[in-house]
Amino acid sequence: MIYLDNAATSWPKPPSVLAAMREFAEDWAANPGRACHRMGIEAGQRVARARASLAELLGAPDASRIAFTLNGTDALNMALKGFLNEGDHVVTSTFEHNSLSRPLTGLERAGRLRVTRVAPREDLTLSPEDVRRACARDTKLVAVTAVSNVFGALNDVAALARAAHDAGAAILVDAAQAVGACELDVAAAELDMAAFPCHKGLFGPMGTGALYVRPGLDLRPLREGGTGSRSEEETHPEEMPHRLEAGTPNAHGLAGLAAGLDFLRETGIRRVREREQSLARDLVERLSEVRGVSVLNGRSREAQTGIVLLRVGGLASQEVAALLDARYGIAVRAGLHCAPGAHKFLGTFPEGVVRVSFGFFNEDGDAKAAARAVAEIAEGV
Ligand SMILES: Cc1ncc(COP(=O)(O)O)c(C=O)c1O
């Protein structure tokens, strides 16, 4: 199989990730942070190691400001529902992933929030000036993506944070497609919150995600319960990360994540990004001469990740994806990619398009194989 669906989740994971999960499961998989026997202590240390390593990668001032979550969606829900109050105004973009836009729209339709949505520029990025203009006196939060999972274009999150702060609002960044793909320093960019899955660019397994919350900002917890700490108290602990983590964590997954972060550090984010970008460019160049195939993104070459959006003749995206799978053993994602607003902007709603997303482990020949397969499908072979 040629796997070109890395924007959904990265595959394969580095062998060290699988080895770390296996070793953890076989030797240490006691409940972390709950017991004083050596297995429990070791399990707790594995979770702490993943947290410290993630804090270092993100430039977080304090590892305890990172709470582990189930996935990116969980982290975004925790941020929005833990921070916003009845009647608040929120500025977001028109091209967010459903994991950010649906909770906002749900609260808006229930009459609990006002939401203003800012459209992208022609280069498919979000303008900090437009965001600033959309803010009102009562804007509590700017909630936007760092990299759209459809456009694949990098937004300037530091400038977006300045725009939010100028307006007296906080900023929440959906960093799902950004972590591991670009240098994201939460302290340097002055982010208030960053939410992301750890199963994409960080090479962790599915079932891992995280929410960074800057020091001094306290969220209401979405879940309360056992934490292994302050068990004598009747209410949920207030200190991070326990404030936002209740119940047994996905320690198997976090053991794998720690190894994934090691792999990323040793490899270098820049190398990963350059590899994904160069494969994407190769595919785009190979397809540029093919009749009936249009590439819909990649308008800014520098600010682009490994995502390529394709329309192939008059064929439905699902049909193209099914043919790529069945005839060529190539895995891509068709449809709307959980971001209908992005497709409305591109004029590809509701049918959607084919999304090819390269990952670090793709080989040079993969772009060539994908280009040949798409060309044959376009030519009706
Ligand atoms: C931009 C963006 N935000 C949020 C998410 C949600 O992440 P998860 O599927 O881990 O909940 C995704 C996943 O594809 C994404 O691409």
Shared domain check, 258 and 310: no
CATH number at residue 219: 3.40.640.10
- Which pair of structure tokens corresponds to residue 7? 């924007």
Same domain, 223 and 288: no
Assess whether the C-beta atom of 145 lies below 6 angstroms from ligand 1.
Answer: yes
27 CA → ligand 1 middle, Å: 32
Q: What is residue 381's predicted lDDT score, i.e. its pLDDT?
A: 67
> Using a 6 Å cutoff on CB, does residue 103 contact ligand 1?
no
> For residues 70 and 44, is the Cβ–Cβ distance under 8 A?
no
- If asked whether residues 350 and 257 sit together in one domain, one would say no
Q: Is the pLDDT of residue 285 over 90?
A: yes
pLDDT in tens, 105-116: 999 999 999 999
Task: Report the percent of the chain where pLDDT is more than 90.
Answer: 94
Residues 273, 207: one domain? no
User: How much is the mean pLDDT over the chain?
Assistant: 96
Determine the distance separating the centroid of ligand 1 and the alpha carbon of 41, expressed in angstroms.
32
Q: Could you give the 3-state DSSP secondary structure of residue 103?
A: helix
Number of domains forming the structure of the chain: 2
226 with 346, same domain: the answer is: no
**Which range is least confidently modeled, 33-42, 49-58, 96-105, 296-305?**
296-305
Domain endpoint, select from 216, 233, 266: 266
Based on the fold, state whether residues 148 and 253 are members of the same structural domain.
yes
Residue 345's CATH number: 3.90.1150.10
297 and 256 co-located in one domain: no
Q: Domain residues for 177?
A: 15-266
Sign of CA dihedral 65, 10, 149, 318: negative
* 278, 283, 289, 294: CA torsion to nearest 10: -110
Mark whether 338 is an active-site residue. yes
Q: Cα–Cα distance between 28 and 76 in angstroms, integer?
A: 30
Same domain? 240 vs 331: no
State whether 279 and 231 are in the same domain.
no
Question: Whose CA is closest to 348, among 299, 298, 296, 301?
Answer: 296
Q: Which tens digit of pLDDT belongs to each residue from 223-234?
A: 999 998 899 999
Amino acid at 302: E
Residue of 36, 135, 182, 338 marked catalytic: 338
For residues 274 and 261, state if they share a domain. Answer: no
**Domain endpoint, select from 266, 284, 315:** 266
Residue ID of nearest Cα to ligand 1 atom 2 = 176
Residue 184 near residue 156 (C-beta atoms within 8 A): no
Does the C-beta of 155 come closer than 6 Å to ligand 1? no
pLDDT digits (tens, 9 = 90+) for 118-129: 999 999 999 999
- The pair of three-digit structure tokens given for residue 81, joined into one six-digit string: 């529902």
pLDDT of amino acid 120: 97
Alpha carbon of residue 188 to chain centroid:
19
Q: Tokens standing for 328?
A: 């060529």
Average pLDDT over residues 179-183: 95
- pLDDT number for residue 33: 84
- Residue finishing a domain among 207, 235, 266: 266
Rg of the chain in Å (alpha carbons): 21
Residue 243 Cβ inside 6 Å of ligand 1? The answer reads no
CA of 99 to the centre of ligand 1 (A): 7
pLDDT digits (tens, 9 = 90+) for 3-49: 999 999 999 999 999 999 999 999 999 999 888 899 999 999 999 99
**Residues 231 and 308 grouped into a single domain:** no
Same domain, 229 and 355: no
CA torsion sign, 223 to 229 to 230 to 232?
positive
- 146 is written with which tokens? 């760092």
Mean pLDDT value across residues 180-209: 97
Ligand 1 pocket check: which of 6, 70, 73, 206 to mutate, most ligand atoms within 8 Å of Cβ? 73
Instruction: Quote the CA–CA distance of 68 and 254 in Å, as a whole number.
Output: 9
Tokens of 44: 């707790």
Overall average pLDDT of the 315-323 stretch: 97
Q: DSSP string covering 212-230, please?
A: EE-TT--PPPS--S--SS-
Quote the pLDDT of residue 121.
Answer: 96
Best mutation site among 297, 338, 355 for ligand 1 pocket (most ligand atoms within 8 Å of CB): 338
